């Protein structure tokens, strides 16, 4: 793998050794190991019959590739899902109670021989008795038949302590179905969320997640995360979230039905999923770093598709009295960059600091001297942020020419004028957190050369903008 195309293989963002990668699946922490499964086609660098790839990490930065966990069978291809630790052996699939009891839920998607019909999607179960090295598909799959829904996929399962039952959230086309179970095998529909709320487009709501976060004032809220494949904030794919309450069977949105909260304002942040059983009750998540508008045309050939860096989610109360989501790069990422990053040229650059802005002022961030993305943050009464001239790679493919340039404007909701700013630039990837982590921007890039330079200029008042850089 020494071709020019490996110029864009990132140093600290996860990528497959070869082949196609998209959604993260089955994120679970067990006995000191972070397991990450992912949508994977090992035969080519374009989307094909989906498998579950598998990788394991001790620190969420360096990964060991494991054998394929799930491969297509008579029920269909292996679409997205989740994994849990069945410590109490609720399922009865294991010999005893153990932290090593792993159960995975996935969608089997059976391609239709009739091109006018959609795939037939059902929910299935698999389990592992050897820490995820090998997986046994449940002999009575599917555990949940299709209720005549065209897009019925991506089961996310978690334990709800108050009611002592398991919960599954799953795509119901343009809404999210909520199911519950006592034994992890027999599931009953309890409610449906979202048909009249949030952002809708032509594509289905995908890869749902639902989890609690507790703010510093002690208030706990539940976060419903939904991916939308097209027609989002920026053209193409995007991820929205809702903040509300959950009683074990029904999620209630706190905000107005037409209010949309975006998790990211870039173009490459999709299928966000969080780890089950993360230490210290932390909510750690990762996303597929691409966009369905051009995912099949990005300029790599030995692999295609990467993950974002892992981020920790928290809940904060803003100055308007509304709860919003805060993101920060997980502590192991910062440790790795500060303490163990190799000294050779691996194409990773980090800048972290604070910036003071006055209303009407702006900051311009250039990541490279030539052929570079350019971010302009404008603080106006309308609180807008503009990103201009972000034509990162002029590929020969027409889809890349039409879809990859990033020219759009976004609204920012934070009300602070003193802002934390952190940018991590890797080969092929830029991640930016601003305004104390309440504004996120995640984007691919394919420059002709990697200079490892970041220029920050503007008319605002700056405070030690490069406190910590590598």
Contact 463, 309 (CB under 8 A): no
Q: What gap in Å lies between CA 63 and CA 42, rounded to an integer?
A: 18
pLDDT at position 377 = 60
* Between 414 and 339, the higher pLDDT residue: 339
Residue 343 has a CB neighbour count (10 Å cut-off) of 6
Q: Is residue 4 part of a domain?
A: no
Q: What is the pLDDT confidence band of residue 351, given thresholds at 50, 70 and 90?
A: confident
106 and 251 co-located in one domain: yes
Q: Does the pLDDT value for residue 145 go beyond 60?
A: yes
369 and 283 co-located in one domain: no
Q: What is the pLDDT confidence band of residue 393, given thresholds at 50, 70 and 90?
A: very low
Q: What is the pLDDT confidence band of residue 390, given thresholds at 50, 70 and 90?
A: very low
102 and 225 co-located in one domain: yes
Q: Does the pLDDT value for residue 467 go beyond 50?
A: no
Triad 428, 429, 433: Cα angle to 5°? 165
Q: Is residue 137 part of a domain?
A: yes
The catalytic residue positions are: 23
pLDDT at position 117 = 60
Q: Is residue 292 part of a domain?
A: yes
Task: Tell how far CA 264 is from the center of its chain.
Answer: 10
pLDDT at position 411 = 56
Question: How many domains, in total, are found in the chain?
Answer: 2
Q: Is residue 101 part of a domain?
A: yes
Query: Could you report the per-residue pLDDT of 20-34, keeping only the tens digit for each?
Result: 999 999 999 999 999
Token pair belonging to 40: 């994977």
Token pair belonging to 163: 């009611």
Share of the chain above pLDDT 70, in %: 78
pLDDT at position 343 = 52
247 and 133 co-located in one domain: yes
194 and 266 co-located in one domain: yes
Q: Does the pLDDT value for residue 136 go beyond 90?
A: yes
Q: What gap in Å lies between CA 328 and CA 351, rounded to an integer?
A: 14
Tell me the average pLDDT across 31-55.
97
DSSP-derived 3-state class of residue 186: coil
CATH label of the domain that carries residue 28: 2.115.10.20
Tell me the average pLDDT across 156-162.
97
Tell me the average pLDDT across 409-423.
64
CATH label of the domain that carries residue 413: 2.60.120.560
pLDDT at position 85 = 98
pLDDT at position 370 = 54
pLDDT at position 111 = 86
Closest to 26 measured CA to CA, from 68, 84, 74, 66: 84
45 and 75 co-located in one domain: yes
Question: Poorest-confidence range of 57-66, 88-97, 133-142, 335-344?
Answer: 335-344
Q: Is residue 335 part of a domain?
A: no
Q: Is residue 5 part of a domain?
A: no
Query: Could you report the per-residue pLDDT of 70-97, keeping only the tens digit for each?
Result: 999 999 999 999 999 999 999 999 999 9
pLDDT at position 468 = 43
* pTM for this predicted structure: 0.92
Q: Is residue 408 part of a domain?
A: yes
Question: Poorest-confidence range of 145-149, 188-192, 356-360, 371-375?
Answer: 371-375
Q: Is residue 351 part of a domain?
A: yes
**Residue recorded with tokens 């201009």:** 388
Q: Does the pLDDT value for residue 387 go beyond 70?
A: no
Could you list the residue range(s) of the whole structural domain that residue 401 is in? 344-469
- Among left, alpha and beta (phi > 0; psi -120 to 50; other), residue 393 is beta
Query: Could you report the per-residue pLDDT of 397-415, keeping only the tens digit for each?
Result: 456 666 766 655 555 555 5
Tell me the average pLDDT across 165-170.
98
- The domain boundary residue, chosen from 276, 298, 329: 329
Question: Poorest-confidence range of 275-289, 315-329, 351-365, 383-397?
Answer: 383-397
Tell me the average pLDDT across 103-129.
88
* Between 431 and 23, the higher pLDDT residue: 23
Q: What gap in Å lies between CA 268 and CA 189, rounded to an integer?
A: 33
287 and 352 co-located in one domain: no
Question: Poorest-confidence range of 217-221, 225-229, 341-345?
Answer: 341-345
Q: What gap in Å lies between CA 174 and CA 466, rounded to an integer?
A: 44
Tell me the average pLDDT across 51-59.
97
Q: What is the pLDDT confidence band of residue 221, given thresholds at 50, 70 and 90?
A: very high
Question: Poorest-confidence range of 149-163, 254-268, 420-434?
Answer: 420-434
Closest to 27 measured CA to CA, from 85, 82, 108: 82
- Among left, alpha and beta (phi > 0; psi -120 to 50; other), residue 143 is alpha
When computed from its CA atoms, the radius of gyration of the chain, rounded to whole angstroms, is 22
102 and 166 co-located in one domain: yes
Listed in sequence order, the residues at least 6 apart from 144 whose beta carbon sits closer than 8 Å to its beta carbon are 122, 123, 155, 168, 179, 187
- The domain boundary residue, chosen from 329, 356, 381: 329
pLDDT at position 398 = 54
* Between 313 and 456, the higher pLDDT residue: 313
pLDDT at position 297 = 87
187 and 299 co-located in one domain: yes
Q: Does the pLDDT value for residue 164 go beyond 70?
A: yes
Closest to 445 measured CA to CA, from 286, 310, 267: 267
**N-to-C CA span, the chain:** 27
Triad 276, 171, 192: Cα angle to 5°? 100
248 and 392 co-located in one domain: no
Tell me the average pLDDT across 410-425.
67
- The domain boundary residue, chosen from 329, 355, 370: 329
Contact 207, 272 (CB under 8 A): yes
Contact 371, 391 (CB under 8 A): no
Closest to 299 measured CA to CA, from 448, 112, 184, 459: 448
Contact 170, 155 (CB under 8 A): yes
pLDDT at position 352 = 82
**Summary mean pLDDT of the chain:** 85
Query: Could you report the per-residue pLDDT of 244-303, keeping only the tens digit for each?
Result: 999 999 999 999 999 999 999 888 999 999 999 999 999 999 999 999 999 998 888 899
Tell me the average pLDDT across 150-170.
97
Listed in sequence order, the residues at least 6 apart from 376 whose beta carbon sits closer than 8 Å to its beta carbon are 362, 363, 364, 365, 385, 386, 387, 388
244 and 348 co-located in one domain: no
291 and 407 co-located in one domain: no
Q: Does the pLDDT value for residue 208 go beyond 80?
A: yes
* Between 177 and 117, the higher pLDDT residue: 177
pLDDT at position 446 = 76
């Amino acid at each position: 793998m020494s071709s020019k195309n490996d110029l864009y293989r990132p140093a600290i963002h996860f990528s497959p050794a070869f082949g196609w990668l998209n959604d993260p699946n089955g994120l679970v922490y067990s006995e000191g190991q972070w397991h990450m499964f992912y949508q994977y086609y090992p035969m080519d660098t374009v989307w094909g019959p989906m498998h579950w790839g598998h990788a394991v990490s001790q620190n969420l930065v360096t990964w060991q590739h494991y054998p394929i966990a799930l491969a297509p069978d008579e029920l269909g291809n292996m679409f997205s899902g989740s994994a849990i630790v069945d410590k109490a052996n609720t399922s009865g699939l294991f010999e005893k109670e153990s932290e090593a009891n792993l159960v995975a839920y996935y969608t089997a998607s059976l391609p239709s021989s009739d091109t006018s019909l959609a795939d037939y999607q059902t929910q299935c179960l698999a389990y592992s008795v050897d820490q995820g090295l090998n997986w046994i598909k449940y002999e009575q799959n599917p555990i949940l038949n299709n209720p005549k829904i065209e897009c019925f996929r991506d089961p996310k399962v978690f334990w709800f302590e108050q009611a002592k039952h398991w919960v599954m959230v799953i795509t119901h086309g343009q809404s999210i179905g909520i199911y519950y179970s006592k034994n992890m095998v027999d599931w009953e529909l309890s409610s449906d969320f979202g048909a009249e709320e949030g952002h809708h487009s032509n594509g289905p709501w995908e890869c749902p997640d639902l989890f609690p976060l507790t703010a510093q004032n002690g208030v706990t809220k539940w976060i419903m995360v939904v991916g939308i494949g097209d027609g989002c904030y920026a053209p193409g794919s995007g991820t929205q979230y809702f903040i509300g309450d959950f009683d074990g069977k029904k999620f209630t949105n706190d905000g107005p039905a037409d209010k949309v909260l975006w998790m990211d304002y870039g173009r490459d942040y999709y299928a966000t999923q969080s780890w089950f059983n993360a230490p210290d009750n932390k909510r750690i998540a990762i996303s597929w770093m691409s966009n369905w508008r051009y995912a099949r045309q990005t300029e790599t050939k030995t692999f295609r598709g990467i993950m974002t860096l892992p981020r920790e989610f928290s809940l904060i109360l803003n100055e308007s009295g509304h709860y919003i989501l805060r993101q920060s790069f997980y502590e192991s990422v910062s440790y790795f960059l500060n303490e163990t990053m190799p000294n050779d040229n691996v194409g990773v650059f980090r800048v972290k600091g604070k910036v003071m802005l006055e209303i009407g002022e702006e900051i311009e961030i250039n990541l490279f001297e030539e052929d570079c993305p350019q971010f302009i943050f404008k603080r106006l009464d309308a609180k807008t942020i503009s990103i201009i001239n972000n034509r990162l790679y002029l590929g020969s493919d027409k889809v890349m020419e039409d879809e990859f340039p990033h020219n759009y404007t976004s609204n920012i909701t934070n009300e602070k004028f003193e802002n934390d700013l952190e940018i991590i630039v890797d080969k092929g990837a830029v991640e930016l957190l601003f305004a104390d982590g309440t504004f996120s921007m995640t984007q691919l890039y394919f420059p002709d050369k990697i200079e490892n330079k970041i220029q920050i200029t503007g008319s605002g008042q700056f405070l030690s903008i490069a406190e910590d850089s590598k």
